[in-house]
Amino acid sequence: MYEKKTRLSASTRVRNYFLTGLIICAPLAITAYLTWSFIKWVDGWVKPYLPAIYNPDTYLPFSVPGFGLVTALVGITLVGFLTANLIGRTILAYGESILNRMPLIRGVYKGLKQIFQTVLAEKSNSFNKAGLIEYPRKGIWSMVFLATETKGEVDSLLREDGMDTLSVFLPTTPNPTSGFLLFVPRQDVIILDMSVEEAAKLVISAGLVAPEYQPKLAELADEAMQETQDAAQ
């Protein structure tokens, strides 16, 4: 009987060790894989366009990983620097005037440019808060990211009905990059204290990874302190 309990206890410890190692190694391995895949993807796009004289792969017996990524970062930064002056803005305006004459490409370019300006502009407050709305019906709550106040024609039409709305993005699980754009009355949105990063983790993990709620932790700490004081008395 004693030997059987010992064997069970040992197998349980081995299982716990394995699960602990998996928790540590799996995120590291997945992060490394995604990072390496991204570097290879950028290198595959950039390196073929580099002149052979500037490509270190020409002189080395092996490929230098990440050189294409570094080149892309330097190139994008240089383009931003050149565009910031008068000559760069003139060239950019001339290039955009050419694109504006192309019916299909014009719409794609303008849409993508507006998206990147909204997401990356320093003055943008896009997705800086998380909230809850009742969706897809009353009594069921869904996590949303607050994009901005509703603008343009949509805002004008909704305000005619006396509605002050917010534009929110409702992400899907486990892929928060896809979802739905919703125009929700401001009073129907409950703003959360958690950050957008914490809300994204909650969405990706399907509710398994919940951020710590500080008021609740403080309440538990006060209760524990009160119990300690009562026991001491």
Counting the structural domains of the chain, the total is 1
The answer as to whether 179 is a domain residue is yes
Domain membership flag for residue 97: no
Residue type, 190: I
Q: Please state the pTM of the whole predicted model.
A: 0.55
pLDDT at 74: 92
pLDDT at 110 over 50: yes
Q: What per-residue confidence (pLDDT) applies to 225? A: 67
**What pLDDT is attached to residue 91?**
81
Is residue 69 situated within a structural domain?
no
The answer to whether the beta carbons of residues 150 and 166 sit under 8 Å apart is: yes
C-alpha span between 69 and 222 (Å, rounded): 51
Greater confidence (165 vs 125) lies with 165
Greater pLDDT, 224 or 12: 12
Confidence band of 228 (pLDDT split at 50, 70, 90): low
Q: Give the C-alpha separation, 164 to 141, whole Å.
A: 20
2 within a domain of the structure (yes/no): no
Average pLDDT, the chain: 82
| Residue numbers of the domain that contains 168 | 129-213
125: which 2 tokens?
């407050």
**Quick one: pLDDT at residue 168?**
93
**Residue 183 resides in a domain:** yes
**pLDDT tens per residue across span 31-63:** 899 999 999 999 999 988 888 888 888 888 888
Longest Cα–Cα distance in the chain: 87
Is 196 a domain residue? yes
